């Protein structure tokens, strides 16, 4: 690659990292934290803000937390929390529970059909490293083969349809 291409690539990467850091570093007034959290949760969960319910801001240890759930009413509730530092800077959102109908201790919290399909694709005994909810109805499962240590990221729907498969090693 020539120097111009490398310089453009480095600049694009720096801009993307800077934009992500700027979103994380946003200072939010305390009365606006619940509304801000609603927007962040809607984006992360792939739903509309009207489908999000948040509780009033709680202050704990000098930091701020907004707890919420989606959907606002009904079954299959996903809960989350938005955290803000003592300086009121947004620190991020964390999904704290998945909808009912899937989690068990042996599958790391992944829906059973998704876990079964991902394990079938690995084809050999593998340990669950992490389970991460993505948009509603989809989960990323990272597995490590017991014998070889090979790591795989499997994205599957709750119904067991694999939508992405990546070897991490």
Q: Which positions ≥6 away from 125 have C-beta within 8 Å? A: 145, 146, 147
pLDDT by residue for the chain (169 residues), tens only, comes to: 555 544 454 444 444 444 444 455 789 999 999 999 999 988 887 788 988 899 999 998 889 999 988 876 655 678 899 999 999 999 999 888 765 444 433 455 678 888 888 888 888 888 888 888 888 888 888 888 888 989 999 999 888 899 999 998 6
Residues linked to residue 40 through DSSP beta bridges, in sequence order: none
- Around Cβ 152, how many Cβ atoms within 10 Å? 19
What's the DSSP call for residue 110? -
Would you list the domain boundaries of the chain?
26-97, 105-167
Please say whether the beta carbons of 101 and 86 come within 8 A.
no
| pLDDT the model gives residue 168 | 87
Q: Using alpha carbons only, how large is the chain's radius of gyration in Å?
A: 19
Cα 21 from Cα 13, distance rounded (Å): 12
Q: Is domain 105-167 classified as CATH 3.10.450?
A: yes
Cα 81 from Cα 47, distance rounded (Å): 16
| pLDDT the model gives residue 21 | 46
| pLDDT the model gives residue 108 | 59
């Amino acid at each position: 690659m020539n120097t111009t291409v490398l310089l453009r690539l480095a600049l694009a990467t720096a801009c993307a990292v800077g934009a992500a850091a700027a979103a994380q570093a946003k200072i939010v007034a305390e009365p606006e934290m619940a509304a801000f959290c609603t927007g962040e949760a809607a984006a992360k969960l792939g739903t509309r803000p009207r489908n999000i319910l948040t509780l009033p801001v709680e202050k704990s240890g000098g930091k701020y937390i907004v707890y919420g759930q989606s959907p606002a009413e009904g079954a299959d509730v996903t809960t989350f929390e938005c955290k803000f530092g003592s300086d009121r800077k947004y620190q991020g959102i964390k999904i704290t529970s998945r909808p009912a109908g899937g989690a068990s201790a042996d599958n790391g919290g992944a829906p059973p059909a998704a876990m079964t399909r991902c394990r079938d694709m690995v084809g050999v005994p593998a340990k669950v490293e992490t389970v991460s909810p993505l948009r509603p109805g989809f989960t990323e499962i990272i597995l490590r083969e017991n014998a070889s240590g090979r790591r795989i990221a499997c994205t599957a729907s709750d119904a067991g349809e694999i939508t992405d498969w990546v070897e991490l090693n």
